[in-house]
Amino acid sequence: PEPKLIRIKDATENRGQRVKVFGWVNRLRVQGKDMMFIVLRDGTGYLQCVLTNTLCHTFDALTLTLESTVVLYGVVDKLPEGKTAPGGHELTVDYWEVVGKAPGGDDAITNKVSAESDPSIQYQQRHLVIRGDTASAVLKVRSRVMRAFRDHFDSAGYFEVTPPCMVQTQVEGGSTLFSFNYYGEQAYLTQSSQLYLETCLPSMGAVYTMAESYRAEKSHTRRHLSEYTHCEAEIPFISFNDLLDCIENMVKDVVNRVWAEPETRSMIEQLNPDFKPYTEPFVRMRYEEAIKWLNDNGVKHEDGSDYVFGEDIPESPERAMTNKIGKPILLTHFPGPIKAFYMPATKEDPRVTESVDLLMPGVGEIVGGSMRIWDHEDLLAAYKREGLDTAPYYWYLDQRKYGTCPHGGFGLGVERFLAWLLDRYTVRECCLYPRFVDRCQP
Ligand code: 4AD
Ligand code: MG
């Protein structure tokens, strides 16, 4: 009779049975003339398979290559004592077929090749690189992390919304807008869904989205993509302190959720062996204190001059500070001129705004958030200061006319969160097909 088709992750419950498995040749080892080991991969796990005697003598066996697709039949069982292999099982093959052959040789982008080759080749061949152990583990953790963000918000009573990606307004400044021709009118790819989330508050209460955002970031950095997944939330009737708590609780809760799943935890441990969920309170620091910290700790401009109040803190000093402090930092109260138009000044000090960035060791900023100007006149004044035409924002301004309320929110870059959680060198490793300057393929 035809044996049962199983997925590799279900090997345990099929021990001692004759089964059928489909998969890709992840590793291949030929031992003498009469023995061959295949580590088979099917997306659910890895399975060691042994072929002996005449099974190894056919033409297919002699020319089998890495990444070929095969179907194998045989008895699956626990590995014999003293042997180790991924998954802890072994399939003793009694019949097999090649479904699709791979070219082998230099063309097979195996784990080894992908880890060692030139980055530009890795990105060009990313459709093959994602078959590797590391890249696929990152993508699997990403899936669980995105689910954990949704679970976090859903369990706190937020609704998820799906705002448009094609827009005619900017959120984070004109210099990073991607524009295109929309039936003869100029439109942009969205930089952030924030303004749309704000319009949902009166009928849905707290809302969130997990949507793509786009930024024309023209420089090569470890943490900038042209397209990234943006997890954004907006909450009515909160104070600035509540907002800081929301961000801190979210990061801790999402980490706890993925850490509680044994499979996800083991992938995190494989990728970032030193990782431990963070239980202490995050450091809270004002922008002004950060400027002082940089000066006190000798972090200077390239020309040796000090950082001064009012300047943006760029990626490299931000990273230097965050790494030295070694803890998550909620950096608050940035000066208005270096931040977005919608951020309100504080009552005590009109030079600074109710704004926050969350900085993580190894990456720096992973979250940006703020309270929002909620008074109509104040918002008009902010547009004027910024030199923005208010016409395309009529719907956003209406929010301040039709029953306004104090509110705030934030956005987290999913790839940056993953770069931190999984200790990846760059955010480019944390998405399926990264988009950055000079790359829009595969
Ligand atoms: O700090 P940003 O620009 O803030 C906003 O867009 C707000 N409107 C969000 C809000 O309040 N709803 O971006 C938020 C986060 C950053 O902290 C960073 O993690 C990520 O988005 N981000 C990027 N990630 C990858 N590549 C880029 N080019 C990114 N730009 C921002
Ligand atoms: Mg920011």
Residues 296 and 156 both lie in one domain: yes
CA of 368 to the centre of ligand 1 (A): 6
Q: Is residue 166 part of a domain?
A: yes
What does the pLDDT look like over 410-439, one tens digit per residue?
999 999 999 999 999 999 999 999 999 999
Residue 30 domain flag = yes
- Residue 45 sits in which domain range? 4-107
Same domain, 93 and 199: no
Question: Which residue type, as a one-letter code, is found at position 93?
Answer: V
For residue 302, is it within any domain?
yes
Instruction: State the CATH number of the domain containing residue 369.
Output: 3.30.930.10
Residue 246 near residue 256, CB atoms below 8 Å: no
ipTM associated with this complex: 0.99
> What's the 267 CA to ligand 2 centre distance in angstroms?
29
Q: Which atom of ligand 1 is nearest to the CA of 357?
A: 17
Any atom of ligand 1 within 6 Å of the Cβ of 24: no
Assigned domain for 339 exists: yes
* Residue 124 structure tokens: 């060009």
Q: Are 258 and 265 in contact (CB under 8 A)?
A: yes
**Spatial separation of the C-alpha atoms in residues 194 and 179, rounded to whole Å:** 19
In-domain check, residue 141: yes
Tell me, yes or no, whether 70 and 202 share the same domain: no
Q: State how beta strands 283-286 and 227-236 pair.
A: unpaired
Question: What is the rounded distance in angstroms from the CA atom of residue 191 to the CA atom of residue 348?
Answer: 31
Claim to verify: residue 88 and residue 210 sit in the same structural domain? no
29 with 99, same domain?
A: yes
pLDDT of 230 over the 80 cut: yes
Q: pLDDT, tens digit, for every residue of 290-346?
A: 999 999 999 999 999 999 999 999 999 999 999 999 999 999 999 999 999 999 999
| Radius of gyration of the chain from its Cα atoms, rounded to whole angstroms | 26
* Distance between Cα 427 and ligand 2 center (Å): 15
Q: How far apart are CA 139 and CA 149, in angstroms?
A: 15
Q: Is the CB of 257 under 6 A from ligand 1?
A: no
As a whole number of angstroms, the distance between CA 430 and CA 269 comes to 16
Q: Where residue 20 sits, what CATH number does that domain have?
A: 2.40.50.140
CB of 51 closer than 6 angstroms to any ligand 1 atom: no
* Token pair recorded at residue 9: 């992750």
pLDDT at 204 over 80: yes
User: In this structure, is residue 410 part of a structural domain?
Assistant: yes
User: Residue 127 CA to chain centroid, in angstroms?
Assistant: 18
Mean pLDDT of the region 69-96: 92
Q: 54 and 197 share a domain?
A: no
Residue nearest atom 1 in ligand 1 by C-alpha distance = 368
> Based on the structure, what is the number of domains in the chain?
2
| Owner of token pair 């969350």 | 358
Cα–Cα distance measured from residue 242 to residue 98, given in angstroms and rounded to the nearest whole number: 59
Residue 84 shares a structural domain with residue 175 = no
Query: Across residues 188-217, what is the average pLDDT?
Result: 98
| pLDDT per residue as tens digits for the range 68-81 | 999 999 999 999 88
Give the pair of three-digit tokens for residue 378: 């104040």
Q: What pLDDT does residue 343 have? A: 98
Chain segment 43-69, per-residue pLDDT in tens: 999 999 999 988 888 777 778 999 999
Q: Are residues 82 and 39 in the same domain?
A: yes
Q: Does residue 367's CB lie within 6 angstroms of at least one atom of ligand 1? A: yes
Outline where 211-239 has alpha helix (H).
none
Identify whether the C-beta of residue 424 lies closer than 8 Å to the C-beta of residue 138: yes
339 within ligand 1 shell (Cβ under 6 A):
no
Is residue 366 within 6 Å of ligand 1 at its C-beta?
A: yes
Cβ(354)–Cβ(333) below 8 Å: yes
Looking from the CA of residue 226, the nearest atom of ligand 1 is 28
HSE of 273 in the Cβ direction (CA atoms, 13 Å)?
A: 0
- Please identify, among 47, 76, 107, the residue that sits at the C-terminal boundary of a domain: 107
Nearest Cα residue to atom 3 of ligand 1: 172
Q: Whose CA is nearest to atom 24 of ligand 1?
A: 413
Q: How confident is the model at residue 117 (pLDDT cuts 50, 70, 90)?
A: low
For tokens 């003598």, the residue is: 57
161 found inside a domain: yes
Does residue 95 register a pLDDT over 70?
yes
Q: What is the mean pLDDT of the chain?
A: 94
Percent of the chain clearing pLDDT 70 (strictly above): 97
Question: Would residue 53 count as lying in a domain?
Answer: yes
